[in-house]
Amino acid sequence: MAIIKPFRAVRTSRDKVALVSSKSHEVYTSKKLKAKLKFNPFTFLHVIHPGYKYNKEISGEERFKLVHNRYLEFKENRFFTKDEKPAFYVYKKVTKENVFCGIIAATSVDDYKKDVIKKHEGTIKSREILFEHYLRNTGFNAEPVVVTYPDNDEINTIVEKYKEQRAEYEFTSSDKNLHLLWVIDNEKDIYKIAAAFKKINTLYIADGHHRSSSSYLLAKHKAKENPNHTGEEDYNFFMSYLIPESNLKISEFNRFVKDLNGLTANEFLIALDEYYRIENHGQVVYKPNKKHHFSMYLDGEFYSLYLRKTSYVLSDPLSKLDSEILYRTVLKPILGINDLKNSSKISYLYDKKDSLILKRKVDSGEFKIAFGMVPLSIEEIKEIADANLQMPPKSTYIQPKMRSALTIYEF
pLDDT at 95: 96
Same domain, 245 and 265: no
Specify the length of the chain in residues: 411
pLDDT in tens, 219-260: 999 999 999 999 999 999 999 999 999 999 999 999 999 999
Instruction: Please give the single-letter amino acid code of residue 74.
Output: F
Average pLDDT of the residues in 86-111: 98
Same domain for 259 and 232 = no
Does pLDDT of 351 surpass 80?
Answer: no
Same domain, 199 and 265: no
Helix (H) or strand (E) holding 280: strand 276-282
Answer yes or no: is 387 within a domain.
Answer: no
Give the mean pLDDT of the chain. 96
Whether 389 is covered by a domain: the verdict is: no
Sign of the dihedral through C-alpha 148, 149, 150, 152: negative
Give SS3 for 145. strand
For the segment 197-212, the average pLDDT, to the nearest whole number, is: 97
| DSSP 8-state code for residue 233 | S
Count of CA atoms in the C-beta half-sphere (13 A) of 283: 0
Give the pLDDT mean for 365-377: 97
Task: Say if 314 falls within a structural domain.
Answer: yes
Residues 244 and 277 in one domain: no
- The pLDDT-based confidence of 101 (bands split at 50, 70, 90) is very high
Contacting residues for 12 by C-beta, under 8 A, at least 6 apart: 20, 21, 42, 79, 80, 81, 405
Q: For position 297, what pLDDT does the model report?
A: 98
Domain that holds residue 305: 253-374
Statement to judge: residues 40 and 67 lie in one domain? yes
pLDDT above 90 covers what percent of the chain? 93
| pLDDT-wise least confident of 79-83, 310-314, 341-345, 353-357 | 353-357
Do 176 and 193 share a domain, yes or no? yes
Strand partners, 240: 105, 145
| Residue 77 located in a structural domain | yes
User: If DSSP codes are grouped into helix, strand and coil, which group holds residue 174?
Assistant: coil
Tell me, yes or no, whether 381 lies in a domain. Answer: no
Confidence band of 26 (pLDDT split at 50, 70, 90): confident
pLDDT digits (tens, 9 = 90+) for 372-397: 999 999 999 999 999 999 999 999 99
User: Residue 134 — pLDDT band, cuts 50, 70, 90?
Assistant: very high
- 101: Cβ contacts below 8 Å, ≥ 6 apart: 90, 91, 92, 93, 159, 163, 243, 247
Distance set, CA 255 to CA 76, 182, 332, 345, 383 (Å) = 47, 39, 13, 10, 23
pLDDT at 408 > cutoff 80: yes
Give the span between the Cα atoms of 185 and 86, in whole angstroms.
6
Amino acid identity of residue 259, one-letter, is D
Label residue 166 by pLDDT band (50, 70, 90).
very high
pLDDT at 141: 97
pTM as predicted:
0.94
Q: Where are the beta strands (DSSP E) in 96-213?
A: 99-108, 117-118, 140-141, 145-149, 169-172, 178-184, 203-207
Helix (H) or strand (E) holding 292: none
Specify whether 267 is located in the same domain as 204.
no
Q: In the chain, pLDDT over 70 holds for what percent of residues?
A: 100
| Same-domain status, 168 and 279 | no
Question: Please, which pLDDT band fits residue 323 given cuts at 50, 70 and 90?
Answer: very high
Do residues 56 and 150 both lie within one domain? yes
pLDDT, residue 355, reads 75
Instruction: Classify residue 330: in a domain, yes or no.
Output: yes
Structure confidence by residue, pLDDT tens digits, 3-13? 999 999 999 99
Residues 56 and 161 in one domain: yes
User: Is the pLDDT score of 354 beyond 90?
Assistant: no
Is 278 in the same domain as 231?
no
List CB contacts of 269: < 8 A, sequence separation 6 or more: 278
Clarify whether residues 101 and 214 are in a common domain. yes
- Domain assignment present for 380: no
Rounded Cα–Cα distance for residues 179 and 186 (Å): 22
Instruction: Compute the distance between CA of residue 3 and CA of residue 305 in angstroms, rounded to an integer.
Output: 45
Coil, strand or helix at 198: helix
Q: Please enumerate, as own/partner, the contacts of 42-49 that have beta carbons within 8 Å and a separation of 24 or more.
A: 42/12, 42/16, 42/79, 43/19, 44/20, 44/74, 44/142, 44/404, 44/405, 46/70, 46/74, 47/71, 47/74, 47/142, 47/405, 48/404, 49/25
Q: Taking 80 as the threshold, does the pLDDT of residue 399 lie above it? A: yes
Tell which wins on pLDDT, 60 or 281.
Answer: 281
Domain membership flag for residue 98: yes
- Any bridge partners for residue 146, and if so which? 207, 241
The whole-number pLDDT of residue 255 equals 97
Preceding omega of 144 cis (within 30 degrees of 0)? no
Beta strand pairing call for 237-244 and 145-149: parallel
What pLDDT, on the 0 to 100 scale, is given for residue 124? 86
Work out the average pLDDT over 282-301.
Answer: 96
Total tally of structural domains belonging to the chain = 2
CA distances to 66, 143, 205, 230, 347 from 51, in Å: 8, 21, 32, 38, 30
Q: What is the pLDDT of residue 184?
A: 98
Q: What is the CA radius of gyration of the chain?
A: 23
